[in-house]
A and B are shown apart, each in its own frame.
Chain A
């Protein structure tokens, strides 16, 4: 197969990488040679999607109509700019032609999200029974965040989402924006329809897993779908509803803000109205931003991690502060000492060859769990260094590599458009 790039290739990219030219654009994606492909499980897609290696990273390549490709590229760029959890677009390539002159479809290239897990891989890893619940929670948070900024998804599904471990929960990322639209604000109809599509798609995807024997028959797919609607509605109400109280109950301002913080959101703007005689106050959050805990951790330590990981790390930081009796000291000094004295040594205790297993922040979260478990078992406060040694020896080596999860050989990818990796034990 010749590596000569075909004539008139048009590459639009915000992050130019000359290695892009080395990929076989003159070959239909379906026929890409195994050596270019990265063996990653794919979701259900109406398009041909392949993962390929590029300069040490993994990219996702999707064959799609030219106008749609540019549209989705722009939309993903807008979403990354406004900091919505979504995959980063790399570019669009048009003008592809086969050596015989036959024109080939345009492609949209996105960055593969490292340490991300497609739902099909999660279900086939025989995880704990509440996995479905935690995935649904993550998806509900993502949908609420997207709807708050005016993004109508149009085709919400588990396949169009990627999940990353986030402490004991998951964080969801949007991967397919093909049917999406960014509006100033969404109508109730748009939100309701998005939610209904999500419900039906999720149930369909779970039923499909059941049909393929990847999920037990007893799991009630319809109930899980309904759970998304419920979780979404609860969160939406908590974030956007107006609440009224008498002037004497002013503590309720702070309580509302605290409640939103606990949900992981900051209040950017609060609407306050009083009735004519000034006895009743009504408050309604107008602008809320997700990432309350991750922003606080970032400010204190410079660590960029996910919301629940941040929450867990901050708890440990608070415990450190109390244990060292430094409550009256400036928080950022204490945070610096915690970072260099506790967090970094613990994470560095992981040998290089095991670092593809989990993200550092996730490793630290598991270390905390492990230390708690050891302390319980031994009836004493096990120090972090000791816990780390035990964790690296007894736990981590048996975890799957999740940076770019493997499980199928690249050669198999040719056969089946919808590969689910072989079940593995945790």
Chain B
């Protein structure tokens, strides 16, 4: 087992100016499950491949434990890429399917058997060891593939979108399996996905990347509660956070037809770059439906209601007094806000509801830089 350290690790593809990964500093603890997440082109897969030795590191270093592996061949790094190839061999027993890589490496027969048995116990495959893969269910076959990586006892598991070619149902199942298996094994794992739900549900910590730059790293709770900037705020959470930029007048942000009080220290902290505006974020689940006339309440015109049984979401618009849509965006698109409402009291389309951001659940960002404004 080992820690993993990216020390100012940089990858610049030949012929490009902007680094694909720009001075990444990240430390993964021993046994930790770290998820690299971000939109396509953010540098998450490149970072993983740098760790695997598949991409050159143009500046900085990568360490596994205390060992600098920056210039070490992939096969000598003691890592395992999981799920890269998990076609099973039909004529070999499950045990041989799991252990054949050890056999190639010249490991003693008895040692192979004991490692395979140990892995099978963790994977609930003990009773199938002497059977052929044909006798297994889809999920069991997947576990045999995991077993292949486990018996090698690598220092680090690397997984690059391993669920992307599974159907939705199997994806959710396998997601849970991988996460719980990783906890049982305690092997340091770096996992890449573009799916923030996968990241939130699987990772001990999440690192969000964008344009080759690390935006924030923290626990799922950190990312959800205190996103460091507007990008992370909009990326983490489903449905996505409502985010809008509003002018600040006399200590109030002008949100559509309503006004929201902005703390004094935030107002004084605004910079010239912000041009008298503040960016406010509020999650669909941070809004309460309140009677009209309640202080700080915002009117929302209902465009659509999505009922999911346990929840219901209102998709609506914020209009200003001139009838124009406010500059707000959400997972539902520009000029739309999403509000979670009581599924037993659903408003009708066309109706106007009044909502208020729950105390302490609003997120304030500089309109200029997009950075979070911390306040008391």
Residues of B within 8 A of A237 (CB): none
The answer, among A178, A189, A212, for a CB contact under 8 Å with B74, is A189
In the bound complex, do residue A200 and residue B84 qualify as a contact, i.e. CB atoms below 8 Å apart?
A: no
Q: Which residue of A lies closest to B90 (CB)?
A: A418
CA gap between A214 and B167 in the complex, in Å: 34
In the bound complex, do residue B164 and residue A67 qualify as a contact, i.e. CB atoms below 8 Å apart?
A: yes
Please judge, given known A-B contacts A105-B167, A154-B84, whether A193 and B75 are in contact too, CB under 8 Å: yes
Q: A417 on the interface (CB 8 Å rule)? A: yes
CA gap between A190 and B56 in the complex, in Å: 9
Please judge, given known A-B contacts A155-B84, A187-B55, A193-B75, whether A200 and B104 are in contact too, CB under 8 Å: yes
In the bound complex, do residue B13 and residue A207 qualify as a contact, i.e. CB atoms below 8 Å apart?
A: no
Interface-central residue, A46, A203, A204, A212, by most chain B CB under 10 Å = A204
CA gap between A201 and B100 in the complex, in Å: 10
Q: Which residue of B lies closest to A69 (CB)?
A: B165
Q: A157 on the interface (CB 8 Å rule)? A: yes
Q: A208 on the interface (CB 8 Å rule)? A: yes
Interface 1/0s, chain A 137-154, versus B by CB < 8 A? 000000000000000101
Q: B260 on the interface (CB 8 Å rule)? A: no
In the bound complex, do residue B73 and residue A208 qualify as a contact, i.e. CB atoms below 8 Å apart?
A: no
CA gap between A306 and B271 in the complex, in Å: 69
Residues of B within 8 A of A214 (CB): 91
Residues of B within 8 A of A289 (CB): none
Please judge, given known A-B contacts A67-B164, A189-B54, A189-B56, whether A157 and B85 are in contact too, CB under 8 Å: yes
Q: B53 on the interface (CB 8 Å rule)? A: yes
Please judge, given known A-B contacts A155-B84, A185-B14, whether A192 and B167 are in contact too, CB under 8 Å: no
B182-209 residues at the A interface, CB under 8 angstroms: none
A151-192 residues at the B interface, CB under 8 angstroms: 152, 154-155, 157, 159, 178-179, 184-185, 187, 189-190, 192
Interface 1/0s, chain A 61-92, versus B by CB < 8 A? 00011011000000000000000000000000
Residues of B within 8 A of A272 (CB): none
CA gap between A77 and B247 in the complex, in Å: 51
Residues of A within 8 A of B92 (CB): 207-208, 211
In the bound complex, do residue B134 and residue A417 qualify as a contact, i.e. CB atoms below 8 Å apart?
A: yes
Please judge, given known A-B contacts A64-B165, A155-B85, A179-B85, whether A192 and B75 are in contact too, CB under 8 Å: yes
The answer, among B15, B53, B73, B104, for a CB contact under 8 Å with A184, is B15
Q: B96 on the interface (CB 8 Å rule)? A: yes
CA gap between A200 and B84 in the complex, in Å: 13
CA gap between A312 and B104 in the complex, in Å: 38
B32-53 residues at the A interface, CB under 8 angstroms: 52-53
CA gap between A323 and B167 in the complex, in Å: 65
Category for how many chain A residues contact B: 35 or more
Residues of B within 8 A of A204 (CB): 89, 100-101, 104
Shortest distance from the beta carbon of B5 to any chain A beta carbon, whole Å? 18
Q: Which residue of A lies closest to B167 (CB)?
A: A105
In the bound complex, do residue A65 and residue B100 qualify as a contact, i.e. CB atoms below 8 Å apart?
A: no
The answer, among B13, B104, B165, for a CB contact under 8 Å with A178, is B165
Residues of B within 8 A of A187 (CB): 54-56
Residues of B within 8 A of A280 (CB): none
Q: Which residue of B lies closest to A44 (CB)?
A: B87
Shortest distance from the beta carbon of B303 to any chain A beta carbon, whole Å? 25
Q: Which residue of B lies closest to A157 (CB)?
A: B85
Interface-central residue, B14, B89, B93, by most chain A CB under 10 Å = B89
Shortest distance from the beta carbon of A64 to any chain B beta carbon, whole Å? 6
Q: B12 on the interface (CB 8 Å rule)? A: no
Q: A394 on the interface (CB 8 Å rule)? A: no
Q: Which residue of B lies closest to A205 (CB)?
A: B89
In the bound complex, do residue B134 and residue A68 qualify as a contact, i.e. CB atoms below 8 Å apart?
A: no
Interface residues of B (CB under 8 A from A): 13-15, 52-56, 73-75, 84-93, 96, 100-101, 103-104, 134, 164-167
What are 29 A-B contacts defined by CB distance under 8 Å?
A: A44-B87, A44-B88, A44-B90, A45-B87, A46-B85, A64-B165, A68-B164, A68-B165, A157-B87, A178-B165, A189-B52, A189-B74, A190-B54, A192-B73, A193-B54, A193-B75, A196-B74, A196-B75, A197-B84, A201-B85, A203-B100, A204-B89, A204-B100, A204-B101, A207-B92, A207-B96, A207-B100, A222-B104, A418-B90
Please provide the 4 A-B residue pairs with the shortest distance between their CB atoms, ordered closest to farther: A212-B91, A208-B89, A211-B91, A418-B90
Q: 7 additional contacts, CB 8 Å, given A187-B56, A192-B73, A418-B90?
A: A64-B165, A154-B84, A193-B75, A197-B85, A204-B89, A204-B101, A207-B100
